[in-house]
Structure 1
Amino acid sequence: MHFQSKTALVTGASRGIGRAIATELAQAGVSRLMLVARNQDQLQQLAIELTNAYPGLEAIVLPLDLTDPIAVNTTVAKAWRDYGPIHLLVNCAGVAHQNSFLKARLPEVHQEISLNLLGLYAITRCVARRMVSQQEGTIVNVSSLMGKVAAPTMATYSATKFAILGFSQALRGELANYNIRVVTLLPTLTDTDMVKDLQRFRWVRPMTAKRVAKTLLRGLRQNRTEILVGWQSHLAVWCQRLAPGLLDRILLLAVPQSV
């Protein structure tokens, strides 16, 4: 994929991986960035930083709660009308809560499902319908290594990330005839604000959001459909395939005991 003269929309752009992806896209030469998150002030600050660093870039701030489907539809329709076609959609917005299943709080469970899965579904539906009309587009859905290897104390989060993989695989087949690519990004633990309050799993070394973003762009240039980030991710996936029982024992040893 080439990024020059393209328009990209990035959700969860106010912080963490979303912010890093937006920055890497600006550096790669996109002409227009639509920045989506709930925090308008953080988005505005990022827009100023990017336009100062990359002259010629147009950064558009779109404050939006993805769990409100009516607002999602209205915002996407207005953005498409005012700024033209979107060539790249990066679904990065998400939330994670850590707790044992038996102690899980239903409001937190609902929040994870509403944002991680239903919010992603809502904005993807709005954008994909319009991409079909232009017969071009790329959709990136950010899952997680926990979408391949479920982790104790992260049951709901893992469930949403597994669901994103299945959703992406189905879309890949449905949208291929319209020249729309569907890509999944699967980072391991990343050092972001979202995970700062989580209990760390033993032996898991977090990576930087910048590394995740760079790996995504490299994978897009190579036309890959599934992008794992980091050697720990590749090792865990191979271990799951070849020795799932061993991986289960490792996960039980690695899980934080205080959760």
Structure 2
Amino acid sequence: MDFYGKTALVTGASRGIGRAIAHALARQGMQRILLVARNAQRLEAVATEVRQLGAEAVVLPVDLSDPIQANVVIARAWQHHGPVHLLVNCAGVAHQVPFLQAKLPQVQSEISTNLIGLYTVTRLVARRMAVRQEGCIVNVSSLMGKVAAPTMATYSATKFAIVGFTQALRSELAPHRVRVVALLPSLTDTDMVKGFEWFRGVQPSTPDQVAAALVRGLNRGQAEILVGWQSHAAIWTQRLAPWLIDPMVQLLAPPKPEPQRRPVRSS
């Protein structure tokens, strides 16, 4: 993918993977990066970092789970800053809690941000990309969108849904010359997982490693981008010896976490 002189829109850009992706795109020569998240103060800090890396940064504080608000903000951004060539849907929230102890507001928050927010911004941007017959959409799923994890039932469900949505959208938008890609990080050491009980033996990636994998994958034309050798090992195990997945997940599963954990949003 040719990044130079283009415009990207990154959701969940205020911290974690989204922030690292904004940095990586600036280093690749992106002319302008539209930074989307709920927290305006954190976005301003990321915008300063992006400008120091040589790209123009535009701060767009918005709650993407609010379709009306998102529609207004995205339409104005397109009008004032030109077409978006690359959309990276990175906004997400996670709760770690056993299913039998999960509370409905936790479930609703994950579905609202991880799915409704992603769907809303993709719909707004994809329509405009299709008219221009150019563009690339990256949906950040997770290895949990391929291999579900205990204590993360709703999060896994949303990430599986993102993989399916991406596959369907890839076929639908191909005639319009719009590329659709899934990014599947494994456990990544971000604020969102602080306080979580990690899976035994899993080596976390850094946000910068995820961002670097995205850039490599886009340059190679990959439709699904895995991050780290452990992700590749899990996927190959699932393909070649699927009967090993459930015992392996049970073996590596973390101890039972505390039932009431407040999430840290990445948007």
State the shift of 1:257 in Å.
2.1
State the shift of 1:90 in Å.
0.1
Amino acid at match of 1:3: F
SS of residue paired to 1:153: coil
Match of 1:149 in 2: 147
State the shift of 1:92 in Å.
0.3
Match of 2:32 in 1: 32
Match of 2:255 in 1: 257
Q: Residue by residue, what CA displacement relative to the aligned partner does 1:59-116 show, whole Å, maximum 9, x if unpaired?
A: 0000011110101111110000111100000000001101111111110100000000
CA–CA separation in structure 2 for the residues paired with 1:127 and 1:228: 24
Match of 1:44 in 2: 44
Pairs aligned (count):
257
Amino acid at match of 2:204: P
Return the match for 1:211 from 209, 212, 224: 209
Match of 1:242 in 2: 240
CA–CA separation in structure 2 for the residues paired with 1:151 and 1:220: 27
State the shift of 1:245 in Å.
2.1
Return the match for 2:111 from 93, 110, 113: 113
Match of 1:161 in 2: 159
Match of 1:129 in 2: 127
Amino acid at match of 1:224: Q
SS of residue paired to 1:219: helix
Match of 1:59 in 2: 57
Match of 2:180 in 1: 182
CA–CA separation in structure 2 for the residues paired with 1:256 and 1:48: 38
CA–CA separation in structure 2 for the residues paired with 1:8 and 1:86: 6
CA–CA separation in structure 1 for the residues paired with 2:169 and 2:52: 37
State the shift of 1:27 in Å.
0.4
Question: Are 2:15 and 1:11 equivalent residues in the alignment?
Answer: no
Q: Residue by residue, what CA displacement relative to the aligned partner does 1:122-164 show, whole Å, maximum 9, x if unpaired?
A: 0000000111111100000000000000011111000000000
CA–CA separation in structure 1 for the residues paired with 2:165 and 2:52: 37
Amino acid at match of 1:36: V
Q: What's the C-alpha RMSD, in Å, of the aligned pairs?
A: 0.7
Match of 1:2 in 2: 2
State TM-score, norm by structure 1: 0.98
Match of 2:231 in 1: 233
CA–CA separation in structure 1 for the residues paired with 2:169 and 2:239: 24
SS of residue paired to 2:239: helix
Contact 2:23 2:49 in 1 (8 A): no
State the shift of 1:197 in Å.
1.9
CA–CA separation in structure 2 for the residues paired with 1:126 and 1:154: 29
Pick 1 or 2: higher relative contact order, CA cutoff 8 A, min separation 6.
2
Return the match for 1:191 from 189, 192, 204: 189
Q: Which moved more, 1:234-243 or 1:89-98?
A: 234-243
State TM-score, norm by structure 2: 0.95
